[in-house]
Structures are given as C-alpha cells and as structure tokens.
Amino acid sequence: MEKILNKINNNSLQVGVIGLGYVGLPLAVSFATAGIRAIGFDVSVTKVDKVNAGNNYIQDIRPEQWSKVQELKTLSATTNFSLIARCDAVLICVPTPLDLFHKPDMRFIESACREIGKYLKSGTFVSLESTTYPTTTEHFVLPLLEEASGLTQGKDFWLAFSPERVDPGNKTYDTRNTPKVLGAMTAEGLTIGKAIYSKAIDQVYTVSSPKVAEMVKILENTYRLVNISLINEMALLSGKMGIDIWEVIEAAKTKPYGFQAFYPGPGIGGHCIPLDPFYLEYIAKKFNFDLTMIHTAGHIDMLMPHRATIKLSTALNRHKKPINGSKILFLGVAYKPDVDDERESPALKIMDIVAGKGGEVLYHDPFVATCTTPGGKSYSSSALTAKLLQSCDCVVVTTNHTCFDAAWILENSVLIVDLRNGIKVASEKVYKL
C-alpha cells in the first residue's frame, strides 16, 4: 500500500484504461492532462491508431484538452494487453449492452477481466466503471480476476467499482468536474482508489461497498427512464385531450421546488437509459423481486416508436395518403440533440417500421453520416435542401438538433410530424406527438 501511495503522491503512477470509447478515452485524457501517464487499451486497431496518431474521435473531448495531452505526451494506446503488467491502476470502461432478449451481455467485462488477470501484477488497483447490476464487482469480477491472476484481492490487489457518469453533449459537466462515486471491497482499496481518482477528478465521493456504488448508477438512470416514460405517457394522453404537453411542462417548471422537467419524444435512446434499468431487473429476479416501475416504464418505451408511427399514419391520412409509397424524411437520428451517437435511437426503430410498411425512408442528420437500423438496413444522410423537403410527403422531426432551422423547415415542408416540439410555431402543417 505504501508503494502505490508513494507513486500516487509523486505522480509516477501509470494508469491503464480498458476500453477507449466515450467513457474510457475522456477518462484517460483527464489523467493525462494532469501529468499522469495513461495507457489506453482497446481491441480496435482503428481507435488505438487514432489515439497514437494524435487524432481525437470523441466529441466531448475539447480541443485544448487534446492539445495539452499531445504536448505532455502522457497518453498512449495499445492493443497489447500484456502492457497491463506496467500499470499501477487498471480502470475498466467497456460496454455492457443487452442481448436480443434484453438480458445483460457480460462478454466485454468477462473478456476484459480475463485479459487483465493474465497480466495483473501485485500491488495494482482495479476499478470497474461499466454500468452493471449490483453485486457484479463482488460476485462476477472478483472471482474472474482472482482465478486468472492467481492473486488475492485485499492482499495482492485492490478491487473497486466507480460508475462512469459521462453525459455526452453536456457543455458544463465533463469527466473532471462531475463528482465520482467510489465503493471498494476493502478500506485500503478505498483509500488507494480515492487517491488515484482524485488525480483526474475534482470530487471523489466514497461509499461503503461496490454494490452501493453499482446501485447508485442504476438509480440515477432508472430515475431518468421512469420519468421519460411517465412524460411520454402523459404526452400521449394530452394529445388525445387537446392539451399541448410542452406548454404544460414549461408551466410546471415555474414550480421552484419538488419538480424536474423531462420531455417527451419517440422513445429513449443512447447507451445508458434504455439499458441500465434492465440490468437491475435481471438481478432482482434472483431475489424474487418484481420491479414493476421499471417494467412498466420499459413497456411504454418499447411502444413509443409504434405510437410515433401511428401519428405519422394519422397525419398522412389527413392528406389522403398511406405510408405505403409515401416519401418520408426523418430529421435527426442521433438519440439526443447535438450528439453524434445513434445507438438505441428510437428514430432508427421508426425508420424500420415505416420501411416495413412500404414507406420510402430518407434521413438527414448533420452529426451522423451513415447509420444502420436494428432491422439491418443501412442509410446515408441526405443533404438537407428546400427541394428535398418539398419533395417529401412528410417530414418527421425525430431529434431536435439546435442547428435545425425550424422556420425554414416549416416553410418548405408539405407536412410535419413533430415528435420533439422542434417546430415551435403553430401551423396546420404540423402534427405534434
């Protein structure tokens, strides 16, 4: 313990980050800008080559941060996991997706642990950052690491869980200034982990165990899933009652306490909200517990793309047109405004449904040049021109990127289904969710 604390104190620590995605690379950069040597590990040669060539591919890393890292030369990347043997801290930032049956897919954590275990040297701090069900660190990661390394947690290495809290597109909070929760298996591990993370993160908040830290992240994202689903359901009822839900939300926001605004849309997307709560639902079964709120919220979310398609169908019907044979342009496939990420985006699901009904599907997204739907269809972003808008039977606003010029879109479109309240002007052409 003395040894690693000394290294931390004199900044001679070597940090390894496993997974160079939207979580891992900013984390490695946060250490590297603080003068700590960081090695990024990834199985993708493309990502590793980009990092080593000085090319940033993560939207949230600011140019000045990236320049500083290049200047300090504190960041490198590799596909060679044997270099883990050089690391004093190993931080695991791999994806935790769901499989096709909405069950946790632990393959990435598992293979990361096996690789780490092979090369883990005594005296290393290991932390999992991937969102997962509570008890993963203790019951899944720990035995894998001990078996693969032959080392003993608490004696030879220290294991912890510290959930990533990256919010892509957030201009205020980045990896450094977002407080970080940390729970370790032992008191020693907590002390060491806090000292390490404090190099890269302004505020480290410790909790009593990894499973508490695991539950923290799930609570945060379950809160979001449940509230987005609630407002989507309220939006659907409001639509039937002739009430503009966006007007309701703006007014409710004037309440100075006890309310937080969420906004409706065609469903939830991204890498967190549609997935994390179902990790909890999975482990709850083991405890004979039925998480009815998550289940209900998930059900609403699952149906939203279909409800959105019904809105489209209703709108086209007013123009005496069916979906079959109509030309439909989707504006925005990213899962939220101003990000370049279309993972789990509801827009893609709607595109599949509409294409399946014989609609001619096009999309435009300034941040996503090409995309592949869950149904396996590939599309390229069309150039957004007045002529294109005029040629479409309906334009569907699926993501409200701030660069979209609502007045111009309204002027040039025949019919608009606005699932995001992007076109704020009242018009007979516009059908809101």
Residues of this chain that interact with its own copies (CB under 8 A) are 134-135, 165, 167, 170, 172-173, 178-179, 181, 203, 205, 207-209, 211-213, 215-216, 219-220, 222-224, 226-227, 229-230, 233-234, 236-238, 240-245, 247-249, 251-252, 254-260, 280, 283-284, 287, 289, 291-293, 295-297, 299-300
- CB crowding 4-21: b at 16 or more within 10 Å, else e: beebbeeeebbbbbbbbb
What are the backbone angles phi and psi of residue 184, rounded to the nearest 5°? -120, 165
Which is closer to its own copies, CB of 178 or CB of 382? 178
Per-residue three-class SS string for 307-357: HHHHHHHHHHHHCCCCCCCCEEEEECCCCCCCCCCCCCCHHHHHHHHHHHC
What is d(CA 69, CA 65) in angstroms, rounded to the nearest whole number?
6
Which is closer to its own copies, CB of 85 or CB of 293? 293
Which is closer to its own copies, CB of 10 or CB of 288? 288
What number of CA atoms fall less than 13 Å from residue 156's CA on the CB side?
13
What is d(CA 11, CA 28) in angstroms, rounded to the nearest whole number?
15
> Which residues on adjacent β-strands are paired with residue 371?
379
Contact 27, 175 (CB under 8 A): yes
Which is closer to its own copies, CB of 268 or CB of 361? 268
Which is closer to its own copies, CB of 47 or CB of 211? 211
Q: Report which of 402, 415, 360, 400 is spatially closest to residue 382, judged by C-alpha positions.
A: 360
Q: Which residue bears the tokens 């690789």?
A: 115
Which is closer to its own copies, CB of 243 or CB of 386? 243
3-state helix, strand, coil in the chain (%, to 5): 45, 15, 40
Beta carbon of residue 257, minimum distance to its own copies (angstroms, whole number)? 6
Beta carbon of residue 140, minimum distance to its own copies (angstroms, whole number)? 15
What is d(CA 135, CA 209) in angstroms, rounded to the nearest whole number?
10
Which is closer to its own copies, CB of 400 or CB of 413? 400
* Pairing between β-strand 204-207 and β-strand 14-18 as defined by DSSP bridges: unpaired
Give me 244's structure tokens: 């503009």
Q: Please pick, among 87, 93, 113, 272, the residue that the annotation labels catalytic.
A: 272
Contact 331, 404 (CB under 8 A): yes
Beta carbon of residue 258, minimum distance to its own copies (angstroms, whole number)? 6
Whether 403 is catalytic = no
Phi-psi region of 295 (alpha: psi -120 to 50; beta: other; left: phi over 0): alpha
Q: In sequence order, which residues have a C-beta less than 8 Å from that of residue 425 and are 6 or more positions away?
A: 406, 407, 410
Q: Name the residues annotated as catalytic.
A: 272
